[in-house]
Amino acid sequence: MEHSNCLSLFLFCVYFLCFFLSTQGRWHHHHTKHMHHGHHHKISEISAPPLAAPAPSDPLAPEPSSPPENSDDSTGVFDVRKFGAVGDGVTDDTEAFKMAWDSACQANSSSIIHVPNGFSFMIQSTIFTGPCQGGLVLQVDGTIMPPDGPDVWPKNNSKRQWLVFYRINEMSLQGGGVINGRGQKWWDLPCKPHKGINGTTLPGPCDSPIAIRFFMSSNLTVKGLKVKDSPQFNFRFDGCQNVHVESLHITAPVLSPNTDGIHIENTNGVEIYNSVISNGDDCISIGSGCHDVDIRNLTCGPGSHGISIGSLGNHNSRACVHNITVRDSVIRVADNGVRIKTWQGGSGAVSGVTFSNIHMESVRNPIIIDQFYCLTKNCMNQTSAVYVSDILYEGIKGTYDVRSPPMHFACSDSVPCTNITLSDIELFPAQGDIVSDPFCWNVYGELETLTIPPVSCLLEGVPRSISDNKDTDYC
């Protein structure tokens, strides 16, 4: 076949590109040494639109002449079993869920899709698309799970995401049920090294699905559910407005790679309250384009990597994050407490962040700003950086793991961090000797009260590079 050389070259290029793009920036890298620091790094950042962009349902399309048999439109409750879902944990119930979704979505009034208790529904990767006629409640009282691992994942389904809610306004995902991501076989895939017991390196996932993704949606509530063992991120919200998360319980093993609890990106007006997350990565990660985020009464850990803003500024990108509050929370036996991480070469700003009344238990880097985030040894020194300013740490108390200093401020050489305020900080070693030297590099700010351990390395005032560049449009 004449074209085969050309074709295979083309396929090779496509394959190579896909492989490269999907692995770039996704490798765990340990103990990357920059001159200023050498702690554990990881990235939990992928960004991909749905592979098959879902077509929004056409508002002009005729309504089905009659609702499917046995659906109880009059009460506005759509039980998935009435659409043929079996719930034996084996049967593929995807079509039944889609039909229930479509009927509820087209119903005139606000409607409830019910996933009853006592059943276990297996559904494939699905994009549930709006807009719907009215508000929608997906009431999960039973169990929902995907096919068990990559071998049985349908070849033509996206491996990047499992349940996707797209272009929905006013939806509540709630109930006392369980969403079981069956992540183990994904975590075991031999693609990406991650941290094992006693400093060993274990294989980890390649393209693993995010369990639940809300994309370009608004006025969302997620509450009461238990979510466990996601193959990758448990929740991802991107391009959403007004998100209220409450009483969630998210679990994944300590050594499950990239299982961030809740990741938000380009999303604003977010409340995350009264939730418990223990997993193998960040409990909450806040990406670029987020503002007005309020996190309260979160219990994070054991095993997790804390609450992170970032990583931001990868590939010289511009990132804006502002007005973020995390308060009245507990972080225990975690790699990080409250963290801001940015790459060299980025631009934009992180500003107006408050971390208040946070209790730490044996946390490795309770307070950390890292502007030298890097996943390989050879990140180039660059002169631009995401500007970090107006960060308040108040009432951060408890214990730290003495392998790292309890406070670590590594700010860019060219764009220092400014207006960093420390108030009422009391951090003691969980075991062993006090680490008396908090780490500071190019960080300006002030102590409102004396801290334990004492910090004497904050620079006073405003650096010239910032005051001389008042016109810089940071964000």
Active site residues: 281, 305
Residue span 420-439 as binding mask against ligand NAG, x where in contact by CB under 6 A, dash where not: -x------------------
Residue 294 touches ligand NAG, criterion: CB under 6 A: yes
Residue 382 touches ligand NAG, criterion: CB under 6 A: no
Residue 218 touches ligand NAG, criterion: CB under 6 A: yes
**Of 119 and 375, which has the nearer Cβ to ligand NAG?**
375
Residue 238 touches ligand NAG, criterion: CB under 6 A: no
Strand partners, 166: 129, 215
Residue 241 touches ligand NAG, criterion: CB under 6 A: yes
> String of b and e for 414-452 (b: at least 16 CB within 10 Å)?
ebbbbbbebbbbbbeebeeeebeebbbbbbbbebeeebe
**Of 43 and 107, which has the nearer Cβ to ligand NAG?**
107
**Of 120 and 299, which has the nearer Cβ to ligand NAG?**
299
Tell which residue, 397, 410, 389, has the closest CA to residue 466.
389
Query: Coil, strand, or helix at residue 452?
Result: strand
Q: Which residue has the tokens 């000797």?
A: 433
Structure token digits, residue 407: 């406070």
Sequential DSSP letters for 283-352:
SEEE-TTEEEEEEEEEEE-SS---EEEEEE-GGG-EEEEEEEEEEEEEEES-S-SEEEEEEBT-EEEEEE
In angstroms, the Cα distances linking 186 to 26, 183, 189, 203, 230 are: 15, 5, 5, 10, 9
Q: Determine the residue type at 330.
A: V
Residue 201 touches ligand NAG, criterion: CB under 6 A: no
End-to-end CA distance of the chain: 55
Structure token digits, residue 368: 């950390």
101-130 residues in contact with ligand NAG (CB under 6 A) are: 108-109
Stretch that binds ligand NAG, among 23-31, 272-280, 329-337, 451-459 (CB under 6 A): 272-280
Query: Nearest distance from residue 359's CB to ligand NAG, in Å?
Result: 12
Tell which residue, 272, 186, 187, 261, has the closest CA to residue 226.
261
**Of 57 and 428, which has the nearer Cβ to ligand NAG?**
57
Structure token digits, residue 197: 């017991």
Residue 356 touches ligand NAG, criterion: CB under 6 A: no
Q: Are 427 and 366 in contact (CB under 8 A)?
A: yes
Residue 197 touches ligand NAG, criterion: CB under 6 A: yes
Judged by CB under 6 A, the number of residues near ligand NAG is 29
Residue span 126-165 as binding mask against ligand NAG, x where in contact by CB under 6 A, dash where not: ----------------------------x-x---------
**Of 23 and 467, which has the nearer Cβ to ligand NAG?**
467
Q: Judged by CB under 6 A, which of 8, 23, 381, 449 binds ligand NAG?
A: 381
Which positions touch ligand NAG (CB under 6 A)?
35, 52, 108-109, 154, 156, 169, 197-198, 218-219, 241-242, 274-276, 292, 294, 297, 299, 323, 325, 380-381, 390, 392, 413, 419, 421
